[in-house]
């Protein structure tokens, strides 16, 4: 499927959960491909529920909650806890998340 998009010389590609269920070697290959596409000037929109992946691979992370943008972070501004807090809502004093 990706080869088809590459042949079409797309300016923007959407990757929806690109590494879900993929082993570590497959993940590395997908990340390598994404980095190469970026070097070629292709824009990438990645949808992922993997917070670590979002933080490591993205220039910007936009957190959605209930169909709306809850928060936008630039690379290096957020932690996994920040993303979880914005995605779920408020966090109680014992660390558990409560819907906002």
Are 54 and 83 contacting, i.e. CB atoms less than 8 angstroms apart? yes
- pLDDT score for 70: 92
Are 40 and 9 contacting, i.e. CB atoms less than 8 angstroms apart? no
Task: Sketch the domain layout of the chain as residue ranges.
Answer: 1-47, 49-100
Distances (CA, A) of 13 to 29, 37, 42, 50, 89: 16, 9, 7, 19, 30
Angle at 34 between CA 76 and CA 39, to 5 degrees: 85
Residues 27-60 have pLDDT tens digits of 999 999 999 999 999 999 999 999 889 998 899 9
**pTM for the complete prediction?**
0.71
How many other CB atoms are there within 10 angstroms of residue 19's CB atom? 20
């Amino acid at each position: 499927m990706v080869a088809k998009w590459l042949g079409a010389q797309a300016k923007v590609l959407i990757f929806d959960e690109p590494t879900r269920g993929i082993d570590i070697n497959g993940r590395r290959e997908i990340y390598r491909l994404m980095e190469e596409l970026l070097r070629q000037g292709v824009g990438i929109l990645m949808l992922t529920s993997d917070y670590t992946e979002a933080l490591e691979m993205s220039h910007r992370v936009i957190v959605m909650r209930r169909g709306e943008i809850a928060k936008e972070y630039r690379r290096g501004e957020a932690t996994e806890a920040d993303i979880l807090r914005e995605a779920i809502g408020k966090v109680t004093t014992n660390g558990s998340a409560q819907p906002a």
